[in-house]
Amino acid sequence: MKHIYQAGKDKNAPTFVLLHGTGGNEHDLLPIANMIAPDASILGVRGNVLENGMPRFFRRLAEGIFDEEDLIFRTNELNEFLNEAAEKYEFDRERLFAIGYSNGANIAASLMYHLPNVLHGAILFHAMVPRRGIHLPDLSNTNIFIGAGTNDPIIPQQETKELIETLRNANAIVEEHWGHAGHQLTRDEVEKAREWYIRLTESK
């Protein structure tokens, strides 16, 4: 997968994998990661699917309707890439922290829905429920921040609440932040994610 890797100064910090929204690329979330964890190592990844020329991490049949077969395939593809990247760049595969926005947040959620011990933690901005009717792995000790918009025209509030409930039922530790904006990523929710991550690191 097309990607960028930057080794960080803090060797004790987790490595952050950055997963962009539709039409983005492996560089998009670098400023976000630098705000949240400026000294951490960063792995920015570009999705392998194109929709009208715009990179995505998996196909969809319509807005809000995922191609489940492709979602499962691409989830496994991303997991394999993360395994290979950990070997290549010599970072701890068991201490991988995702930052995802929109489509990227959905593939990050899908990793946690399908695969055990795949992420140490995650920051999901404007995510949806990746799949329904499946049993999630045990997500004990997995810390997740979810940023959502009360006026998001793409993701109804109930969708986000269902995602939060499902993750908590799998024993994940979830903090939610609701902004008043729409689907766009705001500085306020990035600041809240940064504050959450600082509290998380200080408590360990």
What residues act catalytically? 102, 152, 183
- What's 115's DSSP letter? S
Q: Are 29 and 10 in contact (CB under 8 A)?
A: no
DSSP 43: E
Buried b (16+ CB within 10 A) or exposed e, 86-116: beeeebeeeebbbbbbbbbbbbbbbbbbbee
Question: Residue 11: what are its φ and ψ, rounded to 5°?
Answer: -75, -15
Per-residue exposure over 41-61, b if at least 16 CB sit within 10 Å of its own CB, e if not: bbbbbbbebeeeeebbbbbbe
